[in-house]
Structure 1
Amino acid sequence: MMKNSFRLLWSGQMLANFGDVFYIVGVITFLYAATESAFFLAMLPFLNTFGRFMSGMVSPILMNRFPLKTLLMASQVSKTFVLSTLAIWNTMGHVPVLGLFLFIFLIALLDGWALPATDAMLPRLVKKEELVKANSFVSIVTQSTQLGGWAIGGLMASFLGGQHFIWITFILFVTSTVLLKRIHDPVPFKKETGEKRMIRELQEGFILIWRTRLFRVIHIEMAMQAIANVVWVAAIIYVYVEEVLGRSEAWWGYLNTSFFLGLIAGGYICSIYHDRLENRMRLFMIGASLVVGLITFPFGLVKIAWAALILTFMHGVFDQVKGVALQTFLQKEATEKQLPKIYGLQSGVFSLVFGVATLVFGALTEWMGVQYAFVISGILLLWGTIYLMVNKTAFPEYSDKYEVKAHS
């Protein structure tokens, strides 16, 4: 039953992710055709980030009151309804830009609690000793969906209009909803008893992370990583390609593809060698963190295009190894009751951190130059590595006989 539910979870999320990519492609088509404005296109990631931040921050309240499966279903059903309304409105007549922004924000808002609910449910559907393999596999599926979705979407965009993309997304969302409905959550839901003020519920995740050394170290490292990884967003890579490599716009696509292929390769390596990784996970995590920092630090100075491709691929590989290790440590050491609150906080805070960091690094790129943006990013990542080394005792060492202790 657990393996079947795990398959339903990742396949349902895969279809939902494909739908999300196609929906974004369709919306970009709408916006550019209606406005031909870069500013309005830039509003898309802003609204996505802000919507996910808001819903991520209130997700602990929802998770205290509803089962994870109910939240997943509610999110997907609501997104399907909102998307169908947009598709019907567009079929009947032109959707104004403000109306389109409203739909973008609503879908981001509904999506904000789906990801933490999915992450919190995954450890319930696989055995503890299979978490590394499961996280690696889900990561491969997610990154392949991103890479393949944008590639397929780009090709389809030249043949189909935005309206068709919206309807394709609607079909994918409906199918995803059917699959998610069949998931069996083996952990019975227990609604928290006693009166709690909502502000206290919102603080639970912060308090839990700050008072538990392992969780605190993981999230400080994740925050530094989220800020540093802003240099890989499209706007900064585009400047790098033009100003440093001196290549055409196509190289932005090549670097982006190389990075995603690295993430997929890293997930595949973790999946194949999951036993070795689990038994020495702390060492692999710190080693991968160091390599990522050493790659990023000089990257902005590299002017040879093929070398940039190799470095981007290697960055993706080691970034994936580090990410799988951090995720697995968290899932092994947090209880089933703690994980939803932790992931809810992650979804909200990291969306805000990434959004603000994008603006800051964009300004630094324009003010100091793109090379310095990568140098600063590399310094942050190397600081993160030193931080992990100093706090390595916070991370337990696992073996084949390790049994996870319950945390209150």
Structure 2
Amino acid sequence: MKKSFHYLWISQLFANLGDVFYIVGLISILYQASESPFFMALLPFLNMAGRMISSSFAPLLFNRYRLKQLLVISQALKTILLLILAVGSLYTLSLSFMLIIIFAVAFLDGFAQPASTALIPRIVENSQLLRANGILSMLDESTRLGGWALGGILVAATSGGIVIWMTLILFILSTFFILFVTDNTPFERKLNVAKKQELTEGFKLIWDNHSFRTIHVMIILESIANVVWVAAIMYLFVADVLHVSEAWWGYINTTFFIGLIIGGFIFTKFDQFFERNLKNIVLFSSVAVAIVMLSFGLNQIAIVALILSLFFGVFDQFKGILLGTWLQLKATDEQLVKVYSAQGVLTSLLFGLSTLLAGALATIFSVQWLFIGSGLILLLSTIYFGYVQKRFV
């Protein structure tokens, strides 16, 4: 693969590890500063809100700047914000100031994420795109899995402030390596397009293209269904259904990530097989994740829950990489980044609303019914794909 791809994944490796350390360090600092569950809950809320707002306005930037420019600017500004936070951790920062930094970092991520993903097909040959996505996904999940464990150990051994300083170093390295990525895709600034048209272009592309619409209907249904994996719901399931200690939530979460890593590894070894059988594997994986989710909801044995979460991760990875690669192959360079921006708005909004709804339903119904309901939603997604799969040629 091209050198630019290697520089991109190295940059993302440092950025993803930094993102995990950043969250771990912030949780520690916020808890010490406030000792309030409310402020702890604000962290995921501000992350979602910042990303959603930024994704909404991202098309304005994509029409005016190259993707690499935006990535460098975003990572450099995040580095500056982390420097402020790191220096501030040596003193006493007000909670409101920390919350502003949290929102600002999430806002920068909102346009950096679609830019980074849209850059992949520009620097990788189409014949290697599926393998490249498998590699990036495997690295991403490995970083998250190892990062949370390592971050927790570092916070316990040192402090949240020290971990923020480590995050700063990782962000500096990420910014450095992204500078070496070369994107030779022709670019023309668009300044005469109506703002409303710019902001809605991604949604219109999704709606007007049959295969794009199919992919995003599935993404939307899965965003709603997968809220059951959030910590609050899983904690209830572990305590009320499996009747084991809260440590099992960590074990289930770990096996899920291991499943994602295994799925990504299989892709890197058998990418041509997956490419030749795209529709069949997407359909099979969709059936598998629905069955696994339903089985997870009906199961009451802790060891079986670990095995099911592992298989869910593997099959969910298969489906996610295949649909994502299809989108990259069929959208033009100009369309792709705008489609990803619209996707970011949809998934952030729906996941946030679905999380609130799931929390409310968990107080009314057994948490098992939430998993069964999620399994039925995933089954609906499978039936839908089976019906419209002729759109994928």
Check if 1:308 corresponds to 2:314: no
Equivalent residue letter for 1:251: W
Q: Distance in 2 between matches of 1:249 and 1:315?
A: 21
Question: Deviations along 1:82-105, whole A, 9 cap, x unmatched?
Answer: 1111111222x2111111111100
- The question of 1:66 aligning with 2:83 is answered no
What residue number does 1:402 align with? none
Q: Distance in 2 between matches of 1:52 and 1:203?
A: 17
Matches within 5 A, 1:319-338: 319-338=316-335
Provide the residue aligned with 1:392 in structure 2: 389
Is 1:187–2:185 an aligned residue pair? Answer: yes
Pick from 101, 120, 127: which aligns with 1:103? Answer: 101
Q: 1:366 and 1:281 mapped to 2: Cα distance?
A: 40
Gaps of 5+ in 1: 397-408
The reply to whether residue 263 of structure 1 matches residue 253 of structure 2 is no
2:4 counterpart letter in structure 1? S
| CA deviation after TM superposition for structure 1 residue 301, in Å | 2.2
Residue in 1 aligned with 2:176? Answer: 178
Q: Which residue, 337, 340, 345 being the options, matches 2:342?
A: 345
* Deviation at residue 188 of structure 1 after TM alignment: 2.3
Q: Distance in 2 between matches of 1:121 and 1:336?
A: 8
Contact kept in structure 2, 1:244 and 1:300, CA below 8 Å = no
> 1:245, 1:304 within 8 Å by CA — same for their partners in 2?
yes
The structure 1 segments of at least 4 consecutive aligned residues displaced by more than 3 Å after TM superposition are none
- Cα deviation for residue 353 of structure 1 reads 1.1
Q: State the alpha-carbon separation in 2 of the partners of residues 270 and 284 from structure 1.
A: 12
Contact 1:82 1:103 in 2 (8 A): yes
Q: Secondary structure at the match of 2:190?
A: coil
Distance (whole Å) between structure 1 residues aligned to residue 224 and residue 267 of structure 2: 24
The aligned amino acid for 2:238 is: V
Provide the rounded CA distance (Å) in 1 between the counterparts of 2:309 and 2:123: 33
Q: C-alpha displacement at 1:140, in angstroms?
A: 0.1
SS at match of 2:182: coil
In the alignment, the residues of structure 2 paired with residue 260 and residue 365 of structure 1 have an alpha-carbon distance, to the nearest angstrom, of 25
Written as runs of structure 1 = structure 2, the 5 A alignment for 1:92-241 is 93-192=91-190, 195-241=192-238
Which of the numbers 293, 305, 310 marks the counterpart of 2:290?
Answer: 293
1:3 and 1:242 mapped to 2: Cα distance? 49
Q: Which residue of 2 aligns with 1:373?
A: 370
Cα distance in 2 for residues equivalent to 1:380 and 1:239 = 21
What residue is the counterpart of 1:400 in the other structure? none
What letter corresponds to residue 346 of structure 1 in structure 2? Answer: Q
What residue number does 2:75 align with?
76
- Partner residue, 2:34: 35
Deviations for 1:273-300, whole angstroms, at most 9, x for unmatched residues? 1111000101000100010001101312
Indicate the residue corresponding to 2:3 in structure 1: 4
Give the alignment's TM-score, normalised by structure 2: 0.98
CA–CA distance in 1 between the matches of 2:345 and 2:267? Answer: 28
CA distance in 1, matches of 2:337, 2:358: 31
- Quick one: distance in 2 between partners of 1:349 and 1:305? 34
1:335 deviates by: 0.7
**Which amino acid in 1 is paired with 2:99?**
F
> Quick one: which of 276, 280, 284 aligns to 2:281?
284
Deviation at 1:190, TM superposition (A): 1.6
- Structure 1: how far apart are the matches of 2:259 and 2:244? 22
C-alpha separation in 2, matches of 1:153 and 1:129 = 37
1:273 corresponds in structure 2 to 270
2 CA distance for matches of 1:337 and 1:256? 37
* Aligned position for 2:14: 15
In 2, Cα distance between equivalents of 1:367 and 1:46 = 23
| Separation (CA, whole Å) in 2 of partners of 1:55 and 1:183 | 24
**Cα displacement string for residues 345-380 of structure 1 (whole angstroms, at most 9, x for unaligned residues):** 112221111111111111111211210100110010
Within 2, Cα distance between the matches of 1:157 and 1:84?
18
The question of whether the paired residues in 2 share the 8 Å contact of 1:19 and 1:169 is answered with yes
Question: What are the superposed Cα offsets for residues 223-263 of structure 1, whole Å, 9 maximum, x if unpaired?
Answer: 00111111111111111100011111110110000000000
For the residues of structure 2 that align with 1:208 and 1:300, how far apart are their CA atoms? 36
Question: Would you say the 8 A contact 1:66–1:191 is kept in 2?
Answer: yes
Q: Give the partner amino acid of 1:212.
A: N
The code of the aligned residue for 2:329 comes to K
- 1:59/1:344 contact within 8 Å kept: yes
Report the more deviating stretch, 93-102 or 167-176. Answer: 93-102
CA shift, 1:131, in A, is 1.2
CA distance in 2, matches of 1:206, 1:40: 34
Letter in 1 for 2:170: L
CA RMSD of aligned residues (A): 0.9
3-state DSSP class of the match of 2:157? coil
